[in-house]
């Protein structure tokens, strides 16, 4: 499973979810379980994991008000519409907990909201969540967890510590930190180096992007994109490139062709719209078998959508990507409007871009919505969510369903994590 907070930590719900810059993402969420010890049987058999050997999914939600935030982890036998989601049968954790899961490795855990600690979880013979070993990243300079892990193997994962400008190398099998990889070249004064929510593995070389964002003071984005290349055998930086043709990239998508596309975030589009980013929304590409941006490829995303602001790539299967396209007629913008307030407005249409033909078209079945939503790759499928006002309820939407988008289960609160665990 891969869970991505599709927009920046400056989104309307990021203030609750992402501690590192006073705010979620992704995703995996930016914070985790609180100080209270989770009840190992908190999931209960009532929420149903399908019994011994049946399919089981963990669905993570977050509920907050003016005084408190609580997280809920459900073990469910299905993601289909009508599946019962009963809070009394969930594992309840104080604070903004987040779900980490590596589906290909059969591993999942919960991150702590009060400290940078990740606890491994398993299922018992039925559907109860059982807490296992924990790993703390604080001794290695990490102040708060981020929504991303780059999984290399069952015994190696990279946690990008954006605020600390480093990678923490840890072993999900033994729950031990193995090393840290400093990334001093990614520092830009006054800006957060936002390491990509996704990565690309080419042989033994891991590649991920870097975008530079300042949400604290100027609400601006630097007009360049970094690319970090790491040797995963030696855990050393091979190369750090900077491309000044495109900025505000936070996500990459590798298509069936083997090419990897690095596409501007919707937040970058918003910043360009209010003249806080010089480069218009765009896409870079790393060709199959290459480990650097193609100097001959640069796509201005407005070319796909009649000049509209475009951003936030989501895998669509094959050689296609889903994109969000901004409809200015549905939005309210002034000179003082923050970029996160633009992405938070329900003014972003869903489009599908076929990278093989370079054609793009709107998806009529999906209504406009905020751009800052999560997406999840689970069990070979891609999901997003539809929220009620105030994030009081979330409904899963299977984007890659046969025949078009398909409505799934509905859960109380904001659905921020999803994984198949059996």
DSSP secondary structure of 94-129: ES--EEEEEGGGTEEEEEBSSSSEEEEEEE-SSS-E
Q: Which pLDDT belongs to residue 14?
A: 37
CA angle 4, 339, 198 (to 5 degrees): 20
Sole residue written with tokens 């004064």: 189
Phi then psi dihedrals of residue 250, to 5 deg:
-130, -10
On whether the CB atoms of residues 171 and 178 are closer than 8 A, the answer is yes
Of 110, 109, 13, the C-alpha closest to 394 is 13
pLDDT tens-digit map of 404-421: 999 999 999 999 999 999
**Whole-number pLDDT of residue 389:** 80
Mean pLDDT of all residues in the chain?
88
Q: In the prediction, which pLDDT does 16 show?
A: 35
Q: Measured in Å, how far apart are the chain's first and last C-alpha atoms? A: 12
What is the per-residue pLDDT for 323? Answer: 98
341 phi, psi to nearest 5 deg: -75, -30
CATH assignment, 185-372? 2.40.10.480
pLDDT digits (tens, 9 = 90+) for 217-256: 999 999 999 999 999 999 999 999 999 999 999 999 999 9
> How far apart are alpha carbons 12 and 342 in whole angstroms?
10
Tell me, what's the pLDDT at 51? 53
Give the bridge partners for 394, in sequence order.
387, 411
Per-residue pLDDT of 82-110, as tens digits, reads 999 999 999 999 999 899 999 988 999 99
232: nearest Cα among 325, 155, 177, 317: 155
Residue 260, pLDDT above cutoff 50: yes
Closest by Cα among 244, 249, 152 to 200 = 152
How many CB atoms neighbour CB 36 within 10 A?
A: 11
List CB contacts of 402: < 8 A, sequence separation 6 or more.
none
Residue ranges of domains in the chain: 1-144+374-422, 185-372
Q: Is the dihedral of CA 335, 338, 341, 347 positive or negative?
A: positive
**The pLDDT of residue 23:** 29
3-class SS of residue 148: coil
Partners of 239 in beta bridges: 229
Quick: pLDDT tens for 24-49.
Answer: 333 333 332 323 332 222 333 334 44
Strands of 137-235, DSSP E:
150-153, 156-161, 166-171, 176-182, 192-195, 200-202, 205-214, 220-221, 225-231
The stretches of 134-293 forming alpha helices (DSSP H) are 266-273
Least confident range from 7-21, 149-163, 361-375, 394-408: namely: 7-21
373: three-class secondary structure by DSSP: coil
What is the reported pTM? 0.87
Is it the case that residue 372 has pLDDT exceeding 50?
Answer: yes
In the DSSP assignment, the letter for residue 144 is: S
Token pair for residue 215? 């949400």
pLDDT digits (tens, 9 = 90+) for 195-210: 999 999 999 999 999 9
**How many degrees, rounded to 5, is the angle at CA 417 between CA 43 and CA 351?**
145
């Amino acid at each position: 499973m891969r869970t991505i907070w599709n927009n920046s930590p400056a989104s309307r719900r990021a203030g609750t979810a992402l501690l590192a810059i006073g705010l979620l993402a992704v995703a995996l969420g930016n914070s985790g379980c609180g100080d209270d010890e989770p009840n190992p049987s908190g999931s209960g058999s009532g929420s149903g994991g399908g019994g011994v050997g049946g399919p089981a999914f963990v669905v993570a939600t977050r509920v907050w008000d003016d005084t408190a935030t609580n997280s809920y982890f459900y073990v469910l036998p299905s993601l289909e519409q009508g599946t019962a989601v009963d809070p009394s049968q969930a594992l309840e954790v104080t604070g903004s907990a987040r779900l980490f899961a590596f589906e290909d490795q059969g591993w999942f855990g919960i991150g702590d909201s009060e400290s940078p600690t990740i606890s491994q979880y398993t299922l018992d013979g039925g559907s109860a969540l059982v807490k296992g070993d924990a790993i703390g990243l604080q001794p290695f300079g990490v102040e708060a967890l981020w929504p991303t892990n780059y999984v290399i193997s069952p015994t190696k994962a990279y946690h990008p510590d954006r605020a600390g400008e480093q990678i923490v190398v840890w072993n999900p099998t033994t729950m031990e930190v193995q090393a840290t990889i400093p990334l001093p070249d990614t520092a830009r004064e006054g800006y957060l180096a936002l390491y990509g929510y996704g990565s690309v593995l080419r042989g033994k070389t891991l590649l991920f992007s870097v975008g530079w964002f300042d949400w604290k003071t100027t609400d601006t984005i630097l007009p360049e994109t970094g690319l970090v290349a790491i040797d995963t055998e030696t855990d050393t930086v091979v190369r750090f490139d900077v491309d000044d043709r495109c900025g505000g990239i936070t996500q990459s998508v590798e298509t069936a062709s083997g090419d990897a596309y690095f596409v501007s975030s919707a937040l970058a589009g918003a910043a360009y719209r209010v003249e806080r980013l010089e480069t218009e929304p765009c896409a870079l590409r790393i060709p199959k078998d290459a480990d650097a941006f193609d100097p001959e490829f640069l796509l201005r995303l407005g070319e796909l959508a009649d000049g509209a602001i475009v951003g936030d790539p989501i895998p669509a299967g094959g050689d296609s990507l889903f994109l969000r396209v901004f409809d200015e007629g549905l939005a309210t913008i002034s000179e003082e409007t923050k970029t996160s307030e633009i992405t938070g407005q329900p003014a972003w249409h869903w489009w599908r871009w076929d990278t093989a033909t370079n054609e793009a078209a709107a998806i009529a079945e999906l209504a406009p919505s905020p751009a800052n939503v999560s997406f999840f790759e689970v069990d070979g499928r891609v999901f997003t969510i539809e929220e009620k006002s105030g994030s009081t309820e979330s409904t899963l939407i299977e984007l890659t369903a046969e025949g078009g988008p398909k409505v799934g289960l509905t859960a109380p609160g904001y659905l921020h994590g999803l994984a198949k665990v059996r």
